[in-house]
Structure 1
Amino acid sequence: MIEVAVIEDPAAAEATLDPVRARLLAELSAGPASAAMLAGRVGLARQKVNYHLKTLERHGLVELVEERRKGNVNERMMRATAASFVISPTALGAVQPDPGRSPDRLSARWLLALAARLVRDVGALITGADRAGKPLATFAIEGEVRFASAADRAAFAEELASSVTALVAKYHDETAERGRPHRVVVAVHPSLRPPPEPEPRPAPEPAAGEER
């Protein structure tokens, strides 16, 4: 089982968006199970689970691990083909985000379009590398910075842009005959705040005559 699979086929993407199939994928990413085993976990009839499993198998989202005889039936042990899945914007066809339409480095929507293209392109590269049996050379870095003010944030962005521009100019070689272009994407956005923890419920008052 691979760690992450990128879904490019619209029909496969639609299959994962069904709540029941999404639950089955989650169960099967944790380990192999049969339709009978899954039926008890998700509260559905085995025949209904079988129907959903066949749909997921047809789109390459689950696979057969083992087939064994149990009583009068053959039990098919299935598992997810990946631990997690990402739907590529390619599945959206003509309506997928296009960062070339309105490039604006201060636009959150343009950042989202860049992120969508990153998922699409890296997904296609992973697929091609897997088919060719070759490793894929990538690099990513992540961090978090707490700005004291909006002015500091703006200054950081300008300094970051200057540094990246200088690095690109230093290493870019338009004349390299066997060189391969690489895309550089750098983004800064506010971190999501963790959801507040629920307040503890007060203990119920004891009924009359009961001891505390």
Structure 2
Amino acid sequence: MLEIEVIEDPAAAEASLDPMRTRILRELAQPGSATQLAARVGLPRQKVNYHLKALERHGLVELVEERRKGNVTERILRATAAAYLISPAALASVAPDPHRFSDRFSAFWLLALAGRMVQEMGQLIAGAAAARQELATFAIDGEITFRTAADRAAFAEELGIAVTRLVDKYHDGGARTGAGGGGAPSGPGRKHRLVVALHPSLKPNPPKASPKNTHVKEQDND
């Protein structure tokens, strides 16, 4: 089971967005049968089987084992991942193109970059899983509080300079000769995608105000 599976097929994305199928995927983080699921989600077993077949057809659940009980074979299924993310590839014809913006101060460019990252990471994870290889990644996540907009702009400028300096230092633009006497050319290095993002943190939702008590005085009809 993957930790996160990125859904690229539009039909699979549509199937996963059904509220009951989403519930079934969550329940199948642990293997279960249609009978067990029916008791958990409050649906007839036949209806659960209908949803399971759709999810299995789109590769979102997988068969773990089959158990023979008399004349009946019970199929034990499990979700293919603990969590799912729909890739912009599922909406390929209307997915954002980062090349349309190319403005480092544009919120739309940041969103397009994030969409591209989801799509590319989904493909990389699937390829690494198929090859049974580890995928080398690195990420930094944190928050910064700026006193002023000028401080934020200065930070962004310094960050850009620092990242550019590191890229110039480590970027390998072409083939190299292997180390040692007469080493064979090692060829160009493996390309990596670099995205540095900075955006305001979401504000927490304010607590909902409790409704005020309303007292209605009954009129005396006598």
Q: Report the TM-score range of the alignment, normalised by the length of the smaller protein.
A: 0.7 to 0.9
**Aligned counterpart for 2:202 among listed residues 192, 200, 204:** 192
Q: Which runs of 5+ in 1 are unaligned?
A: 203-212
> Is it true that 1:112 corresponds to 2:122 in the alignment?
no
Provide the C-alpha distance between the structure 2 equivalents of 1:140 and 1:147, rounded to a whole number of angstroms.
Answer: 22
Find the aligned partners of 1:180 and 1:66 in 2 and give their Cα distance. 40
8 Å Cα contact 2:172-2:188 kept in structure 1: no
SS at match of 2:174: coil
Q: Which amino acid aligns with 1:143?
A: G
* C-alpha deviation, 1:8, in angstroms: 1.4
Amino acid at match of 1:193: K
Q: Aligned partners of 1:200 and 1:79: how far apart in 2?
A: 42
What does the per-residue CA deviation read over 1:72-108, in whole Å, with 9 as the maximum and x for residues that have no partner?
5332221101101111111112211110112111111
TM-superposed CA distance for 1:25, in Å, is: 0.5
Q: Show structure 2 runs of 5+ residues with no match.
A: 176-186, 213-222
Whether the 8 Å CA contact 2:101–2:108 is kept in 1: the answer is no
Name the amino acid aligned to 1:192. L
Q: State the match for 1:28 in structure 2.
A: 28
Q: Any conservation in 1 of the 2:98–2:109 contact (CA below 8 Å)?
A: yes
Match of 1:178 in 2: 188
Q: Please say which structure displays the higher CA radius of gyration.
A: 2
- Identical amino acids, percent of aligned pairs: 66
- Paired residue for 1:205? none
Provide the TM-score with structure 2 as the length reference.
0.84
User: Normalised by the size of structure 1, how large is the TM-score?
Assistant: 0.88
Partners of 2:210 and 2:133 lie apart in 1 by 53
Secondary structure at 2:99 match in 1? coil
Q: What amino acid does structure 2 have at the position aligned with 1:104?
A: D
CA distance in 2, matches of 1:23, 1:154: 44
Q: Secondary structure at the match of 2:75?
A: strand
- The alignment's C-alpha RMSD in Å is 2.1
